[in-house]
Chain A
């Protein structure tokens, strides 16, 4: 087992290095740079000298390979540098957003779990009935509806409904307070994006729960249990569900990793100051240093989640380890 984990961890190294190369050069293919945006933001005349100085200060005029070396070397000396846009340290910039993204990811995963497991079971138990079709239709609608569109509708709906009821329109807060500072404020902001994205991500998990349940329900021990005259509910809860859960948990874990960095569009609609919005801003500003490090963080979360789920699988199913 230890050997398997070690092998998997070693495989992470080329992946991370490749991701670093990819994002580094991808960003630098775009014409223009952060200095031009900063110094000519309002259409004022941009002093070429000022732009040259700005580039000098940010190290943008060094040879590409030297810049790349600095970027990678930063990981070995634990110095990720500063945001080229704000001048604040990259760690600080990411830290502020990480909290919010983590909380939304947890809440959305919770919503997805609450929706998907019961629905998946209902769907499997009532396979090929109208109930099954409704559940699957509902789940697939979740993937089909753009979550930013759903977000727009939720906010407008809240404004209209609250105005109709209380006379003055209410909308979720547009700035973030940590949950321990002001839990009501915090939740009244984040619950909506969590529902909108949680619904979206429940779809895949519903399907997974359904097919895993169907598979397990046909296993011999479930048939035996049924034959022994056990109550259906007990059969499902005690035997079937337990064994069907693993792939479902895997899917949810992978989606959690996705939610950490992938809420690029939804965050715009709800004005959330999360990692996705930071990514859009950083790319828009051509803040190379921040974008690179942010992408590496998201990739790392992704790769680590994959590692954990694979290891869990291997632990449960020894055949994988030796293949």
Chain B
């Protein structure tokens, strides 16, 4: 049953949450954030490439061609050359964008979402629960990102799923911490008290009142994680702990190529550029999101 006062409370909340229509936000983004738009363009190109990889790639990315090992760029059937097994680099790059996006999005979304849930819960319930949870987060936050990821992947063993788990684990407390401090502020706003006084269930208050109000820090963290996840995957791959052959992945390509870097530098240049460009795109986009959503910066 919906009471009139309830409608009122939620209407109030909507006013607080949706200060601007999303269409307007997008327009602002383009006008005020040329860098961000550029970043978004890179990201979109990547997504399109990943979706249509099967049509874009000229060859099967794992098909070996021992008659054309180390073909140089400009080869008639391999425009960007081939790697040590004679596999087409262009096709591997195109298919590698799938791996990169998968790692990026899954890690960022899962990490940020888990972080948000923990952060909001911690702020909402407060008290001993909050205190203990904060101490646990402190522990995870005390490790440098790569050290924690490396320790986790060493425990679980290499492989793409384990790498993603290893990347997600350090992300969760980071996001939880930021979300919590925002959620704490919202908790003090009278309408949450009012909602409580009306006897709404905890899950309803959390989901309908608190979560929408921490969307800004959540999205900021999420976009930051996208690039970080791709870079971390590349780093773990470089240490031999990441994605394994023959799956096409940029970090793996770069790692294999580093062995042959002396004589065939292009093997390492292409995946390196692909990683850098995609992380660059995600970061530019993330910065723009931050500038747009962060209320302290918005007025500028």
**Stretch in B192-200, B207-215, B268-276 touching the partner:** B268-276
Given contacts A211-B297, A261-B144, contact A18 B136 (CB under 8 A): yes
Contact assessment for A146 and B155 in the assembled complex, using a CB-CB cutoff below 8 Å: no
Distance from B228 Cβ to chain A, minimum over Cβ atoms (Å): 9
Mark contacts of B258-300 with chain A using CB atoms, 8 A cut-off: 1 yes-contact digit, 0 otherwise. 1001100100100010011111100110010000000011001
The tally of residues in A whose CB lies under 8 Å from a CB in B reads 49
Distance from A276 Cβ to chain B, minimum over Cβ atoms (Å): 8
B254 within 8 A of partner (CB): yes
A311 contacts which chain B residues (CB < 8 A)?
none
Contact assessment for B151 and A295 in the assembled complex, using a CB-CB cutoff below 8 Å: yes
A284 contacts which chain B residues (CB < 8 A)?
154
| CB-nearest residue of chain B to A214 | B300
A51 within 8 A of partner (CB): no
Rounded to whole angstroms, the CA-CA distance of A146 and B262 in the bound complex is: 19
Contact assessment for B280 and A144 in the assembled complex, using a CB-CB cutoff below 8 Å: yes
Given contacts A141-B276, A149-B254, contact A29 B235 (CB under 8 A): no
Rounded to whole angstroms, the CA-CA distance of A119 and B272 in the bound complex is: 25
Contact assessment for A19 and B142 in the assembled complex, using a CB-CB cutoff below 8 Å: yes
Contact assessment for B150 and A264 in the assembled complex, using a CB-CB cutoff below 8 Å: yes
Contact assessment for A26 and B150 in the assembled complex, using a CB-CB cutoff below 8 Å: no
**Stretch in A222-230, A242-250, A297-305 touching the partner:** A297-305
Contact assessment for A149 and B139 in the assembled complex, using a CB-CB cutoff below 8 Å: no
Distance from B68 Cβ to chain A, minimum over Cβ atoms (Å): 24
Contact assessment for B147 and A262 in the assembled complex, using a CB-CB cutoff below 8 Å: yes
Contact assessment for A303 and B142 in the assembled complex, using a CB-CB cutoff below 8 Å: yes
Rounded to whole angstroms, the CA-CA distance of A207 and B140 in the bound complex is: 25
Contact assessment for B144 and A280 in the assembled complex, using a CB-CB cutoff below 8 Å: no
Most buried by B among A22, A144, A268: A144
Distance from A174 Cβ to chain B, minimum over Cβ atoms (Å): 15
Given contacts A146-B254, A283-B154, contact A302 B143 (CB under 8 A): yes
Mark contacts of B132-152 with chain A using CB atoms, 8 A cut-off: 1 yes-contact digit, 0 otherwise. 000110111011111100111
B126 within 8 A of partner (CB): no
Binding site for B on A (CB under 8 A): 11, 14-16, 18-19, 22-23, 26-27, 29-30, 127-128, 133, 136-137, 140-141, 143-146, 148-149, 152-153, 156, 207, 211, 214-215, 258, 261-262, 264-265, 268-269, 279-280, 283-284, 291, 295, 298-299, 302-303
A–B Cβ pairs within 8 angstroms, 13 of them: A136-B287, A144-B275, A144-B277, A149-B272, A153-B272, A156-B261, A211-B297, A264-B147, A265-B235, A265-B238, A298-B147, A299-B143, A303-B142
Binding site for A on B (CB under 8 A): 32, 34-35, 135-136, 138-140, 142-147, 150-152, 154-155, 227, 231, 234-235, 238-239, 254, 258, 261-262, 265, 268, 272, 275-280, 283-284, 287, 296-297, 300
Additional A-B contacts beyond A127-B300, A146-B275 (13; CB < 8 A): A15-B139, A18-B139, A29-B155, A133-B35, A136-B35, A137-B35, A144-B277, A207-B287, A215-B296, A265-B238, A283-B151, A295-B147, A298-B144
